[in-house]
Amino acid sequence: MKPHLPAWFHALLATCALLMAVPGLAVAQNAAVTPRAGTLNFVPYEVTDSNYGGMRVATLLIPAGWGASSQVRWDYTSANYPLHVYVHIQSPDAKMWIDILPMDVVYWMDRMGQSTPIGQRAFGAVYAPNLGIEQAMQRLVVQPARGNMPGFQITSKRPVDPARMAAAFNLPDLRGEAMTMHARYTKNGAPADEDFFTFYRAAETLSYTGPQGTGHEYHRRLMLSHSVGAIDGLLPSAYPLLGTIVGSIRPDEAYQRHVQAVKAHITAQHAAAMKRGYDSIAAAGQLSRSISAKNDALLASMQRQRAAQNSADSTRRAAELGSSSVDGFSQYLRGTTRMADPYWGTSERDSNFSQHWTDGQGNYRASNDASFNPNVGAGGGATWQRMETR
C-alpha cells in the first residue's frame, strides 16, 4: 500500500475523531466552578500533545466540575493517518460520560496480488474490500471501545441522516452514510447504556503508478465517531450536554501546520526507504528512527508557533458556542426540541411530546396531554417544573 497525502486533516482535528479508549486511563479533574443558579456552566479544556512539548491540539468546553482526560498517539508508519487522539469526559460521580472516539479507515485495491490479509492493517488502514457501514462501525468503533466489558451486547442500530450529521459538525460537504448503535454492558457492577455514532465517508479513489502500471486504492473513513453513556438509567440526562461539548471543539491552527509538516516528512522518508529496497517492516523501522532523530528540531519549531498561537483571544471560542451547529447536532441525534430548563438553562427533549417537566435531579417526564401535571398526586415527592419551548 503506497502512502498518499489527501487533504483530510482539517476534518480530523475539527472532531478529534481518533484514538480508541485506553483502559485504565486516569481522569484528571478540571478545576471546579460553581454553576450559577438556573444554568450549567461550561469551562474550557485543552487537548495537548506530550510528544511535542505539550502543544495544544484542540480546545473544547466541558461542564464545570466534570473531569476530562486526553491522550495523543502518533503512528509514524502512516502518512495518511498518523495522528490518534482520545478524549474522555465524565461527571464527578462517574455515572455519565462522553467520549470522542477514533477515526479509522478501510481500504481496498483494484489490482490482484494484495498481500495483506483481510481485516489486517497496513500503513494505518484496515484492508477490507467493500466493507459496509454496519460491519465497519461494529468492528472498528464499538467493539474496540467497549467489547471487553462484561455482558457487552449491541441491542439496536439504525441509520442517521448523514447530511444533518455532517452539517452539525460544520462539514456540510461530506458525503457518505451515518449510523448509531446502542450498547449495553456492566460497568463497576452497574448496568450501563451507551449510544455510539459514526459517519462512514464515501469512497475516495487514490491513483498511483508503478512497475505494473496504474492502480487504484479506495479509502472509506469512519469519521466523527463519538459516544454518550451512563449507568443507572441516566443516559437521557447526559444527552443535553452532548451537543454543546462536541459543537465547541476547535482545532489549533499551529498544530494543524505541525501535523502537515510531520506527514510530509513521513511521506518523504518512506519513499526514500522503499527506493533503497527495504521491505515494509524494515522501512517502518527506518522511518521511526528518522522521525525520532528529527523530533527535537520539529519540537523547537512547533513550540515557537505555539507561543504565537497562545496570544489568540480565547473569548472567540466561547462566542462561537451559540452557532447553529449545536442545535443541528442535537436535532439530528433524536429529533429533539430545545426547552428552557429552570434548573440547567436549556435541555433537548423528545419532539414527539408537547409537554415536558423536570425535577432538577436529572429526571424528566413528557406527555401530549395539556392537563398533565406530575405534581398532582405526588404525595410530597419531587417538585416538578414545567419546561417551555425556547
* pLDDT greater at residue 118 or residue 31: 118
Does the reported pTM lie above 0.85?
Answer: no
Lowest-confidence segment of 122-126, 207-211, 312-316 by average pLDDT: 312-316
SS (H, E, C) 34-51: CCCCCCCCEEEEEEEEHH
Q: What is the mean pLDDT of the chain?
A: 75
Average pLDDT over residues 125-139: 92
Beta pairing partners, 101: none
Sign of CA dihedral 230, 37, 383, 341: negative
Query: pLDDT of 313-371, one tens digit each?
Result: 444 444 444 444 445 554 555 456 777 777 666 777 776 678 888 877 667 888 888 88
CA atoms within 13 A on the CB side of 211: 1
- pLDDT value, residue 16: 34
Percent share of the chain, pLDDT over 90: 31
CA dist 222 and 177 (Å) reads 10
- pLDDT value, residue 23: 30
Sign of CA dihedral 312, 317, 323, 325: positive
Query: pLDDT of 223-262, one tens digit each?
Result: 999 999 999 999 988 888 888 888 788 889 888 888 888 8
- pLDDT value, residue 70: 94
Residue 294 has pLDDT above 80, yes or no: no
Map out the domains of the chain as residue ranges.
9-252, 335-389
C-alpha closest to that of 333 among 178, 214, 154, 206: 178
Cβ neighbours, 10 Å, residue 141: 26
Backbone angles phi, psi at 271, to 5 degrees: -60, -40
Average pLDDT over residues 180-200: 96
Backbone angles phi, psi at 10, to 5 degrees: -60, -45
Burial of 223 (0-12, 13-18, 19+ CB in 10 A): buried
